[in-house]
Amino acid sequence: MLALEIFDDYISWLRVNVPLAYDNLAPPATASELAALEEAVGYELPSTVKAVLGVHNGQKVSLTPSGGEHGVPCIPTLNLLSTGAIQERWEIWAETRRGPDIEELQKMGGVWPGAEGLIRPLYTSPGWIPLWSDPTRHDYIGIDLDPAPGGKTGQIINFGRDEERHFLCAPDFTSLLQILLEEVRSGAWQASKLHDEEYEDDKIIEGGPWFGDPDEHFFNALYARFEANEDNS
C-alpha cells in the first residue's frame, strides 16, 4: 500500500531529524480499537487511515486545549491523533451538534474560493473525522466523509472552532501523507524550541522542544498549496 510506504519514509525522516518526535510515537492500534472508533463515529474509515493507525496509534504524550502534557508533536506543529483522541474530539463536536445554538453555528460555516461545491459550507458535520490537531486550539485536519455533491468521499479538509472556512488540503489521505513528506524534506520543518507562549488557560511553556517554526503553522502550508493549485488550474 502506497500510503504505508510514504508513512514509513516519513517515520524514517523523523527518526533522524526530530528524534524527540519519533520517540513520542505510540504503539500500533489494535483491531478492536479501530473497530470501536468506527462504531463510535458511525462511518467506515478509509483503509489507508486504518493502516497508518495500525503502525502508530497517534502520540504517547500530547498537549491539548484542555490540558495534557507537553509532548513534541509528531506532525509539524500538529498532534498526530490516536483512535481514542479522534473519538474524544469527534464526541465533543457531536455534543455541539446537539446543542440549542447549532443552527446559528452552522451558518458560520463556509468555504474558501476554489472549494465551492466540494465541501459543505457548514461549521461542523458528523462526517468530518479529525486526524491531526492543533495542540492549543480545537482545530483539525481530517477526513471528509460527508462531502458536497462535487466533492470526493475521503478528501482531506480543515475544520474546527477557528477554521470555520474550509479548503481542500488534499484529495485523499495518501496525497496528504505525500505532501507531509515533501514538506519535511524541503527543510521547512525542523526540530526547534517554543518561544514563551501564554495560552487561554494561562499555562506557559518556556522554551520547550517543538517540531517546526513556533511562528509558523502547518495549516498555512496546506492552504498555500491549495491556493497555488487554484491559481494554476
Tell me the per-residue pLDDT of 50-93, one tens digit each, with 9 for 90 and over: 999 999 999 999 988 877 788 899 999 999 999 999 999 999 99
pLDDT computed for residue 67 by the predictor: 73
pLDDT computed for residue 114 by the predictor: 96
DSSP string, 116-139: TTTS---S--TTEEEEEE-SSSSE
Provide the residue range defining the domain that includes 73.
2-232
Number of domains into which the chain is organized: 1
Beta strands in 6-82 (DSSP E): 63-64, 67-68, 79-80
pLDDT computed for residue 69 by the predictor: 81
Per-residue pLDDT band at 207 (split at 50, 70, 90): low
pLDDT computed for residue 174 by the predictor: 98
pLDDT computed for residue 65 by the predictor: 83
| Cβ atoms within 10 Å of 10's Cβ, excluding its own | 20
Burial 155-175 (b: 16+ CB within 10 A, else e): bbbbbbeebbbbbbbbebbbb
Compute the distance between CA of residue 102 and CA of residue 25 in angstroms, rounded to an integer. Answer: 36
Which residues does 104 contact at the CB level (< 8 Å), separation at least 6? none
pLDDT computed for residue 81 by the predictor: 98
Amino acid at 226: F
pLDDT computed for residue 123 by the predictor: 98
Ranges 8-17, 32-41, 208-217: which has the least confidence: 208-217
Compute the distance between CA of residue 61 and CA of residue 49 in angstroms, rounded to an integer. Answer: 20
Per-residue pLDDT band at 232 (split at 50, 70, 90): low
| Cα dihedral value 187, 188, 191, 196, nearest 10 | 160
Tell me the per-residue pLDDT of 87-124, one tens digit each, with 9 for 90 and over: 999 999 999 999 999 999 999 999 999 999 999 999 99
CATH code for position 177 = 3.40.1580.10
- Which region, left, alpha or beta, applies to residue 207 given φ > 0 means left and ψ of -120 to 50 means alpha? left
Tell me the per-residue pLDDT of 185-206, one tens digit each, with 9 for 90 and over: 999 999 998 865 554 444 444 5
pLDDT computed for residue 63 by the predictor: 85
Mean residue pLDDT across the chain = 93
Say which DSSP state 15 is in. Answer: H
